[in-house]
Structure 1
Amino acid sequence: MPPNRRQPPTVRLRRLAAELRRLRQEAGLSQEDVAEKTNVNNVTLYRIETAKTKPQLRTLIALLDAYGATESERDSLIALQKEAKQRGWLHSFEADLPDQYTALISLEAEAQQAINYESLFIPGLLQTEDYVRAMIRGVRPAATDSEVETRVTARMQRQALLEGETPLRLWAILDQAALCRKVGGDAVMRDQFAHLIRQAQRPHVTIQVIPFSAGAHPGMPGSFIVLKFPSDDPDVIYIDSMAGDLFLEEKADIQRYNSICEHLRAIALSPNDTTALIASLREDH
């Protein structure tokens, strides 16, 4: 991974950092005070409190002792420490997928809601297997069959987030251009459109299309995903571009992209009109 593209921490690690920072402040201790009481130096404490590193268990226990944490707080934070880099099913794919893509998958798995805007592709969580395969072969013409199938399998595994008792809430917004680009041929697109119509009927999935008639709009520069998490964990913005994948976590960036989302939802067709448009395009194929 390039040195200027730090892989973001998992949500658990961010939550652990925030809780440790809160406990220190409530105990009325400065970072210098903590260094004197625990021998954890200022640099290490800063990195722990900003989720740049996971504390070792003995370091965590020393901090909790210094802060006078309650038994329930200790149990909760020790559990977070153990789970801070948990990646579930993704573990078997990490050697074969780019770091930033595995980071997206990890964060996505912990999110409560995703708002995905796409200008040229069907959103990844809504793609059919045949569409994924044709898309990857088109975008990555030098990829081997094995590399293609690894990415296809990972994409289909991601879609399990839309299943289960507490599925990810997905709000997908796409430019009409993504529907009009024929990926894989007529049969693939017909199946893809039918899949979108089925998914749009699910209570936790909302799909809107920005029609060509809307003219220029804020989403035209490129695609992005806004990931929203439970509790007070801040949003994370994921941007996929030709220059590489990028994560934004600064408050100003989060506000800007949430504002763009509101604008795009306002100019897009309603979910019902979107379904009607997709059905019409399916007939054309």
Structure 2
Amino acid sequence: MESQPMPVRRQAPTVARRRLAAEMLELRTTSGRSREAVSSDTGLSQGALHRIETAKTTPQAGTLNHLMDYYGVTDPEQRAAMQELRKRSKQLKWLELFEGGDLPDSYRTLASFEADAIRISDYESLFIPGLLQTRAYTETIIRTLLPEAPHEEIEQRLDIRMRRQETLTKPHPASLWAILDEAAMRRRVGGNQIYLDQLEHLLAAGQRPNITIQVIPFSTGAHLGMPGAFATLEFPEPDPPLVYMENAGGGLFVETDSEIAWYRNSFLRLAAEALSPQDTTTWIERAASAG
């Protein structure tokens, strides 16, 4: 594996880049021009246009001005707003420190979106949510799932996980609504002490005004969340929400309105079947006291 060339690392898309991409796509479709026509008229390749319109890359200032000229954008305020989006569309500064590692692009993307989110609704069936994990719990999971990973990669992933959690503690934090299957709560990841420390961490987190935690007990029986975990991330208007799902093969983002609506409704149904936040606190306290 070491003999293979390192893949080119793309910047993790941000909410600002998603909005800029949507604006650029809207300008082109409103003009009635195909990518082929725009490419022929402006000299910008169709591939470059596709990457800009799908938030895979951020255009240079000159390229953005050239395209706005071409599409007839003359309003100074609109032009300034789009250039501001371009400036803000770079990935997180702290995430840049971890460039060059073996982290999946989807994981970097999730970190950048979480930093911009105002609401996160996370259902987990087997793990404590990443934003609520202790460092020891996280390390155990990483070492179990990546038994051959070098020490440097494990430390990198740990540091990123801890930095991701800052979205819940910054001056204007995101709100987190976490629903956990009892299976995630019962599994003694890392042994008894790490398990108990994780429960205490959840109790402390649940006292914060921006965090809501609910447990779906085994007694509920079959429920809608059994197929797997998912999280919905919401952003300030006008940025659309998205859904993130993760499995052994990597992460997947869902952005279509109909699918997002399905996951939102599913989350609300899971919340209705779960213990209330107050009863969840009592449940966790009993689990911790039982050792």
Q: TM-score scaled to structure 2, two decimals?
A: 0.87
Q: Pick the aligned partner of 1:163 from 163, 169, 172.
A: 169
- Distance in 1 of aligned mates of 2:43 and 2:97: 38
Deviation at 1:58, TM superposition (A): 2.0
Aligned to 1:92: 97
- Distance in 1 of aligned mates of 2:142 and 2:27: 47
Deviation at 1:142, TM superposition (A): 2.2
Once structures 1 and 2 are overlaid, which stretch shifts more, 41-50 or 211-220? 41-50
Contact 2:104–2:250 (CA under 8 A) maintained in structure 1: no
Deviation at 1:117, TM superposition (A): 1.0
Aligned to 2:249: 243
Aligned to 2:184: 178
The 3 A distance-change label for structure 1 pair 69 and 49 is farther
Aligned to 1:214: 220
- Distance in 2 of aligned mates of 1:63 and 1:284: 64
Deviation at 1:217, TM superposition (A): 1.1
Deviation at 1:89, TM superposition (A): 0.6
Q: Secondary structure at the match of 1:121?
A: coil
Q: Secondary structure at the match of 1:93?
A: coil
Alignment of 1:89-238 (within 5 A): 89-96=94-101, 97-238=103-244
- Distance in 1 of aligned mates of 2:223 and 2:277: 19
Deviation at 1:163, TM superposition (A): 0.9
Once structures 1 and 2 are overlaid, which stretch shifts more, 230-239 or 262-271? 230-239
The 3 A distance-change label for structure 1 pair 7 and 224 is farther
Q: Secondary structure at the match of 2:180?
A: strand
Aligned to 2:33: 31
Once structures 1 and 2 are overlaid, which stretch shifts more, 44-53 or 110-119? 44-53
Aligned to 1:83: 88
Q: Pick the aligned partner of 1:56 from 49, 56, 60.
A: 60
Q: Secondary structure at the match of 1:31?
A: coil
Deviation at 1:50, TM superposition (A): 3.9
The 3 A distance-change label for structure 1 pair 250 and 9 is farther
Q: TM-score scaled to structure 1, two decimals?
A: 0.88
Deviation at 1:69, TM superposition (A): 3.2
The answer for unaligned runs of 5 or more in structure 2 is: 1-6
1:134-192 residue CA offsets vs partner (Å, 9 max, x unmatched): 22222222223332222111111111111122101111111011110001122112211
Count of residues in Structure 1 that have an aligned counterpart in Structure 2: 279
Letter of the 2:92 partner, please give it. R
Letter of the 1:253 partner, please give it. E
Q: Pick the aligned partner of 1:14 from 18, 41, 45.
A: 18
